[in-house]
Structure 1
Amino acid sequence: MFSATIDATAFRNALASVEVLVEECRIHVDSDGMRLRAADPALVALVDLTLDAEQFEQYEASEAVLGVNLERLSEILSVAETGDTVRMEFDERSRKLDVEVGTLSYTLGLLDPDSIRDEPDLPDLEPPAEVTLDGRHIDRGVKAAEMVSDHLRLAVDPDRETLVIAAEGDTDEVLVELGRQEVAALSPGPADSLYSLDYLTAINRVIPRGQTVTLELGEEFLAGFEFVVPEADQPVTYRVAPRLQRA
């Protein structure tokens, strides 16, 4: 059993934060809320998001797993106007999800959860370095890196207490260097890793400008990105595996 009502914009933003990595995923629901966790097909990046029951205007659920095509559900939500709510109810007999957005009613066929890749466990890491900064700094670094390379370097210089966002191509290179005066918080430690720009570009698309993002970094480290989903007021967490650097 599952039925819920939530602000359409908040739910659309929540889905978008997951959809940048995967087209379909398992949605776990229970009395505490809704959880979405998935990894991309190459198992390079992972996303984890929980919407607590308190975030919904109405919420009732027993433990269940729904296999959802996120692209199709997002298309339904695209018709929502500001202030609209979305109401969802799972029909156990038909194994379909009834969705109402404003005056629109839609019956969404669900996927067999067993046909969707198992979501990996979220690793429990102790990052050597942690930086909290405005999302616009990440946006600037990612867009600059796209001009010269297909990967991006994230590093922390513990002596100078700076975050370095850099990329190097065959002939050109770019560098963004942020000290304590440019970031909201910095816990310096040894950190220097390369990451595929494809994944960071995808994540950057949903990072809110003007809001803070927390980075967890290290050497050859599974980087962490966390920020609050706009309107949903819930944190979304990403983990991105590093690329091996040449010796």
Structure 2
Amino acid sequence: MSFEAKINAGSFKDSIESISRLVDEIKLNINQEGISSVSADPANVAMVMFKLKKEGFEEFHVDEEMTIGFDLNRLEDILSVASMGDEIEMQSEEGNQLSIKVSGFDYKISLLDPSTIQQEPKVPDLDLPARIVLEGNKIRKAVRASEKVSDYLVFSTKDDKFIITAEGDNDSVKMELDESQLINIETSEDVRSIFSLDYLADMSKSIKKASETKIRLGTDYPVKINFNIVDENGEVEYLLAPRIESESTTSP
């Protein structure tokens, strides 16, 4: 089995970072259509689904479907030497190794045995009643403001508004976005769910780069957050479980 690819360094960095926000190791599935992975964080609170079509690469070849294991921390160390305009060349080699050429360096890294990596989780089929589309940087701004007052964040909808709220012991912050401030909002009912700010803070670092971010939301259900990467040739979807309502997270 052989795999060869060439891709813009900035595009590949964005792709890998969107996954490494949650996990350190992945099984990367490679076939004629491109590359993909499905991973859950160690606590099974969040999932990340990643796809990058072959059209997102400058060159892409695989002779048969294969799965390889990556240590994302090691890969990010290598990518850190690249400038945004650089190209990255990858080629599988004998001995379960991958050659990576970037910025004049030729790295050879040992791949992980996929059988030693956590099994790909089953993605739940959720029919969520609220759909919000907005610029990704608005989520990042709301998360950063919320971090100053709380360790959780509430997503809710009411009267065709998307509302982001955080409440601490003494302080609170709220952002309301109406139809004029959103790209789109569709909801058949008002919804409300609470989420860990730690996870959303990590996710929002990748989400902020997206011109359009799609959120699917229900009441006390996981939230789906979806956005495109690499000139819409790639897609990332986060799934985050809600926090259980308690006295400390209930509005007075």
Q: TM-score, normalised by structure 2?
A: 0.92
Identity of counterpart residues, as a percentage? 34
**In 2, distance between residues paired with 1:2 and 1:139?**
36
Is there any run of 5+ residues in structure 2 with no aligned partner, and where?
248-252
CA contact (8 A) 2:70 2:111 kept: yes
Map 1:28-177; keep pairs closer than 5 Å.
28-61=29-62, 62-91=64-93, 93-157=94-158, 160-177=159-176
Change (3 A) 1:108 1:232: farther
Q: Displacement of 1:148 after TM fit?
A: 1.2
Q: C-alpha root-mean-square deviation of aligned residues, in Å?
A: 1.5
Query: Take 2:144 and 2:83, find their aligned partners in 1: how far apart are those partners?
Result: 30
Taking the TM superposition and a 5 Å limit, the aligned residue runs for 1:171-186 are: 171-186=170-185
**Partner of residue 250, structure 2:** none
What's the counterpart of residue 244 of structure 1?
A: 244
Corresponding residue pairs, total: 244
Q: Is the 8 A contact 2:56 2:230 kept in 1?
A: no
The 8 Å contact of residues 151 and 198 in structure 2, kept in 1 or not, is answered as yes
On the 8 A contact 2:210/2:229 being kept in 1, the answer is no
- Relative to structure 1, is the Cα distance of residues 232 and 184 closer, same or farther in structure 2, using a 3 angstrom cutoff? closer
Check conservation: 2:210, 2:228, Cα contact below 8 A.
no
Tell me the distance in 2 between the aligned counterparts of 1:56 and 1:182: 34
Between the aligned partners of 1:25 and 1:129, the Cα distance in structure 2 is 31
Say which SS state the counterpart of residue 179 (structure 2) adopts: coil
User: What residue number does 1:218 align with?
Assistant: 218
Q: Shift of residue 124 of structure 1?
A: 2.0
2-structure distance, mates of 1:3, 1:47? 25
**TM norm structure 1:** 0.94
Q: Which amino acid aligns with 1:178?
A: L
Q: Which residue of structure 2 aligns with residue 199 of structure 1? A: 199
Alpha-carbon separation, structure 2, partners of 1:103 and 1:231: 26
Q: CA deviation at 1:161?
A: 1.1
**Distance in 2 between residues matched to 1:110 and 1:210, nearest whole Å:** 30
**In structure 1, distance between residues paired with 2:90 and 2:137:** 34
Deviation at 1:246, TM superposition (A): 2.8
Q: Deviations over 1:9-46 (max 9, x none)?
A: 11111001001111111101111111122110001111
